[in-house]
Structure 1
Amino acid sequence: MARTLALFDLDNTLLTDDSDYLWGRYLADAGLVDGPAYEAQNARYYALYKAGDLDIHEFLAFALRPLRELALPRLIELRGRFVAEWIVPRVAPGARALIERHRRDGHMPVIITATNRFVTGPIAGLLGVPALIATEPERDAEGFTGRALDPPCFQAGKVARLESWQTRYGYAGAYTYFYSDSHNDLPLLERVDVPVAVDADPQLTAVAAARGWSQLSLRGVS
């Protein structure tokens, strides 16, 4: 019998905010990028994401540039403080209990996110989820290149990344749950066995209601 996967979007699902957007704000606050200009661009891309109009390749060229420009030891130091100061307070109150419920049921928890692995790897660890499918920053002998490997883990690319992961780790044909807040995840929500809208945006809320999908909130619970 195929094993069961419990897939979780990260930003605004297990977290109460968006780690990609917050990382940009954090770098600007730390004076490591051109603060006002960078923050304005960061906010513009986040608005496009929420509207469903984001050019993911254009955004990644922007978002991954600091990984190329900053030394890796400095990046790792910054990331540690970012997770401790900006992410820990934004873990949704019900996130860990939901993950643990699936674990008790014998399901494999997996975080699947458009945010890049450099940012999200420690966040998955914080939440006790060993399996992470994310946008992969490209690296060469000198470090990060500022580019991402194709396909980015976004919209239809999330489905492609999942299918590749399932084949690699022996989960092809697995029964799947997927929890997400975003209409950008409709390609994957439409593919899984149990789609669940979590603190969903207006677009996804409407789709979930029309299709009879479960809806829940991980905020305001403990």
Structure 2
Amino acid sequence: MLFDNHKKTIKPYLAIFDLDETLIAADSASLWNAFLVQKGLAPQSLLEEEQRLMQAYAKGTLDMNTYMEATLQPIKGCDITKISALVEEFVEEKIKPALYPDALARIEWHKKRGDHVLIISATSEHLVKPIATMLNVEDVIAIELETINGIFTGNTKGTLSYQQGKVIRMKAWLDNQDTEFKGSYGYSDSINDLPMLDAVDRPFAVNPDPALSLHAQVQDWTIMDWRHDNNILR
């Protein structure tokens, strides 16, 4: 498990949410790439390449370094401020309509309990952090991007928060907290997040892909059906 309760003051539970296809009914990185093409800032071929890479993601075989190298090309050499303004427009136009009402209700449920909410994503931080801000979630773990003098280099840095990398990053995050937690909840849709879900005390499969659905049934995990057009929390 993620926790060593012998060193710090114990506080309420930690609620860990994946982002794409868990909190939103879409993949934010895919929407962003399409947005860049729509704006004339990336070629149509980017979407074709990404579609091929996402097929590997669905099978749990994607090389995330390859994906990031391909999809960061449009912002390589761009000023952070310019991209931040674009992301703000993107979040308002593309992400807000894709939010699962059930996800918003579940976050609120945890907050009312006094739990600490953390979003962890295999999408890059320049997208995940503004989305988390919109959701009133302060703590985020996402793929970190290298910048030099306020310019994106097109490279990532550190451990990529993907598959086992999510657990590595979570453990590092926990080590930097002033408090410990009684335990943890985890929410995801993807078999790629199996390491994360195995690491928490209370795993939930949200609209799971076929592989995660089968695993969840075998392990007797709770499976949650969140509908984009339904704002009633189950």
- TM-score, normalisation: structure 2: 0.90
Go from structure 1 to structure 2 and tell me whether the alpha carbon gap of 1:174 and 1:164 turns closer, same or farther (over 3 Å shift).
farther
Match in the other structure for 1:31: 40
- Structure 1: runs of 5 or more not aligned: none
- SS state at 2:26 partner: coil
Verify: 1:68 aligned to 2:76, yes or no: yes
Match of 1:21 among 27, 30, 50: 30
Go from structure 1 to structure 2 and tell me whether the alpha carbon gap of 1:129 and 1:173 turns closer, same or farther (over 3 Å shift).
closer
Written as runs of structure 1 = structure 2, the 5 A alignment for 1:94-113 is 94-113=102-121
Match in the other structure for 2:184: 176
Aligned equivalents of 2:126, 2:90: Cα separation in 1? 12
Match in the other structure for 2:162: 154
- SS state at 2:21 partner: helix
Match in the other structure for 2:3: none
- Structure 2: runs of 5 or more not aligned: 1-8
Match in the other structure for 2:125: 117
Go from structure 1 to structure 2 and tell me whether the alpha carbon gap of 1:154 and 1:119 turns closer, same or farther (over 3 Å shift).
same
Please, which moves more after superposition, 47-56 or 58-67?
A: 58-67
Residue-by-residue CA offset, 1:141-188 (whole Å, 9 max, x unaligned): 252211111210000000000000001123556511000000000011
Go from structure 1 to structure 2 and tell me whether the alpha carbon gap of 1:154 and 1:171 turns closer, same or farther (over 3 Å shift).
farther
- SS state at 1:215 partner: strand
> Does the CA contact (< 8 Å) of 2:80 and 2:150 recur in 1?
no
Offset of residue 67 of structure 1: 2.5
Q: Give the share of equivalent positions with the same residue, in percent.
A: 35
> Does the CA contact (< 8 Å) of 1:196 and 1:214 recur in 2?
yes
Match in the other structure for 1:167: 175
Counterpart residue identity of residue 17, structure 1: A
Aligned equivalents of 1:122, 1:218: Cα separation in 2? 23
> Does the CA contact (< 8 Å) of 2:77 and 2:151 recur in 1?
no
Verify: 1:80 aligned to 2:72, yes or no: no
- SS state at 1:38 partner: helix
Counterpart residue identity of residue 52, structure 2: R
Counterpart residue identity of residue 168, structure 1: N
- TM-score, normalisation: structure 1: 0.95
Match in the other structure for 1:7: 16
Verify: 1:48 aligned to 2:59, yes or no: no
Counterpart residue identity of residue 193, structure 1: D
Aligned equivalents of 2:46, 2:213: Cα separation in 1? 31
- SS state at 1:11 partner: coil
Match of 1:195 among 188, 203, 208: 203
Counterpart residue identity of residue 30, structure 1: K
Please, which moves more after superposition, 43-52 or 96-105?
A: 43-52
Match in the other structure for 1:214: 222
Offset of residue 70 of structure 1: 2.7
Verify: 1:145 aligned to 2:153, yes or no: yes
Go from structure 1 to structure 2 and tell me whether the alpha carbon gap of 1:173 and 1:160 turns closer, same or farther (over 3 Å shift).
farther
Offset of residue 77 of structure 1: 2.1
> Does the CA contact (< 8 Å) of 1:163 and 1:172 recur in 2?
no
Match of 2:100 among 89, 92, 103: 92
Superposed CA RMSD in Å reads: 1.4
> Does the CA contact (< 8 Å) of 1:5 and 1:176 recur in 2?
yes
